[in-house]
Amino acid sequence: MDTRLLLPAVLRYCLLTLRLNFRSRQALAYGYLMPVFFLLAFASVFRSDTPLLLPQMGQILAITILGGACFGLPTAMVAERERGVWRRYRLLPVGTGALVAGALAVRVVIIAGAVALQVLLARLIYGTPFPLHPVQAAGAFLLVTASFLGLGLLVAALADDVPAVQGLGQCLFLPMILIGGVGVPLAALPLWAQRIAGFMPGRYAVDVLQRCFNDSRGLAGAGFGLAALVVIGAAAGLAGAALLRWDAGRRLGRSGRTGLAAALGSWLAVGVAAALTGHLQPVLPYDTAYEDITEAQIAAITYDGLPGDNELVTRLAPPFPNGRAPATLAEFVYRIRDWPPGDLDDPGQSVRNLLSAAGIADLRADPREAEIARAIFDELQRRYPPGQLRRILAWIILRPDDGTALGYAPELGLPLHAPVRLVRERSVLYAQKFLGRLLGKIRDP
C-alpha cells in the first residue's frame, strides 16, 4: 500500500480508537480510576514519608503501566478478535502489522494519560515533586511501556478469549506486585524474593522510573535495568507478533508453548545475567542501620565484576611485608590514626569517611593510591572487631547512597578535590574488595 495513503489511514485508525476508548465507561474506569485509586492507596500506606510518595513513584507508575499494557491492550485486542473486528481488518489492502502498531501507539497514549494524571495528582494533593530528570523520565516511561506492551502483545497472542487474558495477565501481574518489587517495595521483601525479583521486569521498571524522580544521577548506572527491559520486552513482543491470531477460531498448538518458552527464557537470561554481574544485591529498608545487617545479607553480596587490584580504578597494594607500611606511607599512616572524620561517634560514617580517603587518592591518581588503600584496610581491621567491620562494609555496599562522602582530605595530604559522586562509587568498590577479603571470598596475591 502507498505510504502516502497508509500513514493518514493508520493515523485515522489511531484517533478513532482513542475516541472509542474514551467513550467506553469500562475503559475509563480501568484506565484512569484504578490508577488514581492506587495513588491514594500508596499515599495512605506510606503516609510518614517526606515528601510524600516520592520514594514510591516508580512503583506507582510501574503498576499503572503494567495494568495498561498487560491487561488493557490484550483485553481490547482479544475482545475485538472474538467479535471478528480483526478478521474484517484483514480484508483491507494493508498489512495488519500497521494496524497492530497503531493499536500499540494508542495504548502508549492511553497509559501516558494515566501516568501524567498520577504525577499531577500526586503533586497537587501531596506535594510530591515532579521528576528530577523530566527528559529521562519520559524516556524511561517509553522504554518501560514498550517492554510491558511486548508482554501484553504476547498475552493477546496466547489468550483464546477475554477470560484467558485475565488469567494470563494475573500470572504476570500478581507475582510482580507481590514479590517482584512492584507492589511490595523490594526492601520489604525477604532475600529469596529479592533474588526472584531479579528475574522479573517489574524490578527493573521500578528502578529506572524511580531514578528519574529522586536520584541525582538519573539513569546513569541504570544500564543493566534498561537492557533487561529491552531484552524482556523484545523477546515477548517478537513472540507475540509471530503468534498473533486474527481469527478467533484458530487455536495455537505447539507454537504457543514455544513462544511462551522464548519469552520466559529472556526472563531467565536476565536473572542469570543479573546474578553473574552483581546486580542482585540485597536491598535494605531506607532507615536500616549497619547494626541491622544480617549474616544472610552479607552472604548474598557478590563480588563479580570488581576491577582488578592493578587496574586503573580502585587499585589495592598487596599486604605489606610483616604488616608494616613502607616508609613513603609512614606519615599518612600516622595521620590517619588521629584523623577526626575517621573517628566519629558513628562507626558507620567513620568507615565511609576512611573509604572516601581511599576513593579520593584513587580519583586524584595519587602515586601512592594502591598503598593508601591497603593502609586504610589495615587501619579498619585494627580499629574494628571483624563482626562489626563486616556489617559496616556490607551496609555501605547495600546502602551506597546513605551517609555522606568526602570530596577531599587535606589533613591526610589529599588536598585536591574529587567529585563526591565518584568518591561514593569508589568507596563502595573498596568496601566490596575489603569485605571479600575479610570473608575469604577474595584472596590477596
Rule CB under 8 A: is residue 112 a binding residue for another protein? Answer: no
80-109: contacts with another protein (CB under 8 A): 80, 83-85, 87-88, 90-95
Which residue, 249 or 321, is less far from another protein as judged by CB?
249
Closest distance of CB 17 from another protein, Å: 8
Q: Which grid coordinates are listed for 411?
A: 589533613
Instruction: Return the closest-CA partner of residue 292 out of 433, 398, 432, 428.
Output: 398
Closest distance of CB 248 from another protein, Å: 9
Which residue, 20 or 276, is less far from another protein as judged by CB?
20
Which residue, 161 or 247, is less far from another protein as judged by CB?
247
Closest distance of CB 239 from another protein, Å: 21
Count of residues engaged in binding another protein, rule: CB under 8 A? 26
* Binding piece for another protein, criterion CB under 8 A, among 10-18, 167-175, 227-235, 340-348: 10-18
Q: Which grid coordinates are listed for 258?
A: 514455544
Mask: binding to another protein, 21-60, rule CB under 8 A, as x and -?
A: --xx------------------------------------
CA distance 180 to 30: 22
Which residue, 80 or 362, is less far from another protein as judged by CB?
80
Mask: binding to another protein, 230-269, rule CB under 8 A, as x and -?
A: ----------------xx----------------------
Closest distance of CB 10 from another protein, Å: 9
Closest distance of CB 68 from another protein, Å: 18
CA atoms within 13 A on the CB side of 255: 14
Closest distance of CB 240 from another protein, Å: 21
- From 3, 5, 69, 218, residue interacting with another protein (rule: CB under 8 A): 5
Closest distance of CB 16 from another protein, Å: 6
Compute CA distances 349 → 228, 278, 290, 343, 402, whole Å: 34, 24, 10, 9, 9
**Radius of gyration of the chain from Cα atoms?**
26
Which residue, 9 or 273, is less far from another protein as judged by CB?
9
* Binding piece for another protein, criterion CB under 8 A, among 76-84, 292-300, 416-424, 436-444: 76-84
Which residue, 96 or 214, is less far from another protein as judged by CB?
96
Closest distance of CB 28 from another protein, Å: 12
CA distance 226 to 211: 12
Which residue, 28 or 268, is less far from another protein as judged by CB?
28
* Binding piece for another protein, criterion CB under 8 A, among 2-10, 100-108, 321-329, 367-375: 2-10
Residues 6+ apart with CB under 8 A from 158: 164, 168, 240, 243, 252, 256, 259, 260
Which residue, 3 or 322, is less far from another protein as judged by CB?
3
Q: What are the φ/ψ torsions at residue 69 (nearest 5 degrees)?
A: -85, -40
Closest distance of CB 255 from another protein, Å: 15
Closest distance of CB 247 from another protein, Å: 7
Q: Which residues bind another protein (CB under 8 A)?
A: 1-2, 5-6, 8-9, 12-13, 16, 20, 23-24, 80, 83-85, 87-88, 90-95, 246-247
